[in-house]
Amino acid sequence: MGCFGFLKGMMFVFNGIIFLAGAAILGVGIWVKVDSGSILSFLGNIEGAPAELRQVLNVGYLLVAIGLLLLVIGFLGCCGAVKESKCMLLLFFIIVLVVFIAEVVGAVVVLVFSSLADELFTKLGTAAVKNIKKDYGKNPDATGLWNTTMSTLKCCGFYNSSDFLDSPYYLDHDNQYPPQCCPGMKSPCNQSVAEGATKITGCFPKIKELIDDNTVVIAAVALGIAALEVCAMTVSMILYCTIKSRGD
Per-residue pLDDT at 209: 82
In the prediction, which pLDDT does 214 show? 79
In this prediction, residue 117 carries a pLDDT of 65
> Could you tell me which residues come within 8 angstroms of residue 217 by beta carbon, excluding any fewer than 6 positions away?
none
**Rounded-to-integer distance, Cα 220 and Cα 218, Å:** 5
CA atoms within 13 A on the CB side of 48: 14
SS3 of residue 8 by DSSP: helix
* Residue 43: per-residue pLDDT: 53
CA nearest 72: which of 129, 15, 142, 143? 15
Output the CA torsion sign for 5, 6, 12, 15: negative
Q: What is the pTM of this model?
A: 0.60
Using DSSP's 3-state secondary structure scheme, residue 39 falls into helix
Which SS3 state, helix, strand or coil, does residue 201 take? Answer: strand
Domain ranges in the chain are 2-113+214-247, 136-207
| Residue 243: per-residue pLDDT | 85
For residues 170 and 124, the answer to whether their CB atoms sit within 8 Å is: no
- State pLDDT tens for residues 176-191: 888 888 887 777 888 7
H/E stretch holding 114 reads helix 114-135
What tens digit of pLDDT does each residue of 23-66 get? Answer: 888 887 787 667 644 554 555 555 444 444 444 455 667 778 88
Give the Cα separation of 10 and 16 in Å (integer): 10
Instruction: Kindly report, residue by residue over 188-218, the tens digit of the pLDDT.
Output: 888 777 777 556 788 888 888 887 787 788 7
